[in-house]
Amino acid sequence: MSALIIINPNSSSIVTNCIDQAVDPLRSFGIPIRCLTLAEGPPGIESQRQADQTINPMLALAAAQKDAAGFVIACFGDPGLHALRDQTALPVVGIQEASVMTALGLGHRFGVIAILPNSVPRHLRAFGGMGVLGRLAGDRPLGLGVADLTDGTKSLDAMIATGKRLRDEDGADVLIMGCAGMARYREPLQEATGLPVVEPTQAAASIALGQMRLRLSHKLQRVDHA
């Protein structure tokens, strides 16, 4: 049976397991979801250079998935998003783009909880390309690397403090978790801040499943009329 393939472009199986748990509620829709780890990727993607280096091996991994009916790129930076869309006519959704689109439907100004300070410029370039900087309240880093996110107490405390600053100082009325694999913190963060919180892999998988069911594609077959 055809499946939604979610690719974690870093080499951490722990992050992939967190992604798999995050999207588990969406399996009730009846479409299989498989989460893959890119073995050639870095342990965590924390720079533009690292993100760009994952693109070619990710494209090869995607091409090898013969049961694929759609793809999600599970890195908040969407590395290779447009390259994979060039490669396939199947739905391809990036978690950064999807989380912003979801947040815009939940509030007027969104705030992003980034992991490290050098993540913020990458985010701002992407938001500028999407034309949504006017709706961005703020993008604040936790100061934690991808590996640090496995420490539940440290991560949640930092997220709550950062979320409250985005709410109180920047005026955000919806929050985006700026890294894959944070889903276990989403509900406690919502409760602590009183704001809707978007977990990006869940947002992307939801959009991809909808596109798969509706047979939507960024590449339409041209029909020549006689």
Residue 132 pLDDT class (50, 70, 90 cuts) = very high
pLDDT surpassing 50 at residue 173: yes
From 13-27, 145-159, 191-205, 210-224, the region with the lowest mean pLDDT: 145-159
Q: Which amino acid is at 114?
A: A
Give me the pLDDT at residue 226, please: 41
Residue 147 pLDDT class (50, 70, 90 cuts) = low
Highest mean pLDDT among 1-5, 44-48, 173-177: 173-177
Q: Average pLDDT in the 90-101 region? A: 97
Give me the pLDDT at residue 215, please: 93
Q: Average pLDDT in the 187-196 region? A: 97
Q: For residues 77 and 74, what is the distance between their CA atoms, to the nearest angstrom?
A: 9
- The structure tokens listed for 212 are 């798969």
Residue 225 pLDDT class (50, 70, 90 cuts) = very low
Q: How many residues does the chain have?
A: 226
Residue 62 pLDDT class (50, 70, 90 cuts) = very high
Q: For residues 66 and 149, what is the distance between their CA atoms, to the nearest angstrom?
A: 33
pTM (two decimals)? 0.92
Give me the pLDDT at residue 223, please: 43
Contact 45, 77 (CB under 8 A): yes
pLDDT surpassing 50 at residue 224: no
Percent of the chain having pLDDT more than 90?
Answer: 77
Comparing CA positions, the residue from 28, 54, 32 lying closest to residue 41 is: 54
- The structure tokens listed for 8 are 């974690």
- Identify the structural domains of the chain with CATH numbers, from first to last: 3-95+202-214 (3.40.50.1860), 97-199 (3.40.50.12500)
Contact 60, 9 (CB under 8 A): no
Comparing CA positions, the residue from 184, 206, 212, 204 lying closest to residue 73 is: 204
**Mean pLDDT for the chain?**
92
Q: For residues 54 and 162, what is the distance between their CA atoms, to the nearest angstrom?
A: 29
Comparing CA positions, the residue from 48, 4, 50 lying closest to residue 27 is: 4
Comparing CA positions, the residue from 205, 203, 214 lying closest to residue 104 is: 203
Higher pLDDT, 44 or 65: 65
